[in-house]
Amino acid sequence: MFIPFGIFLPCLFIKLRNVLSFLVVFLLGITILETSQLYFRVGSFDVDDIILNSVGALIGFVVYFIFRRTKS
């Protein structure tokens, strides 16, 4: 479900075209989202969600760079 984040975030923000900066920003955002679910008691806080969502975003990031390289 988070594959589009891996595609659109590097398109929108040039600083996120580096895998390390992308991963740090995405992990920070998804951790805030999961923590807010715990705090507001909406849904459930699950570390597995953080890991799986990050893997999905990284898959999208790889897809973005494959299309970017084939385009040029």
pLDDT, tens digit, 9 for 90 and up, residues 3-59: 999 999 999 999 999 999 999 999 999 999 999 999 999 988 889 999 999 999 999
Q: What is the pLDDT of residue 44?
A: 86
13: left (phi over 0), alpha (psi -120 to 50) or beta: beta
Q: What is the pLDDT of residue 43?
A: 85
pLDDT at 71 over 90: no
Q: What is the pLDDT of residue 72?
A: 67
Looking at per-residue confidence, does 70 or 62 come out higher? Answer: 62
Cα–Cα distance for residue pair 22/58, rounded to 1 Å: 9
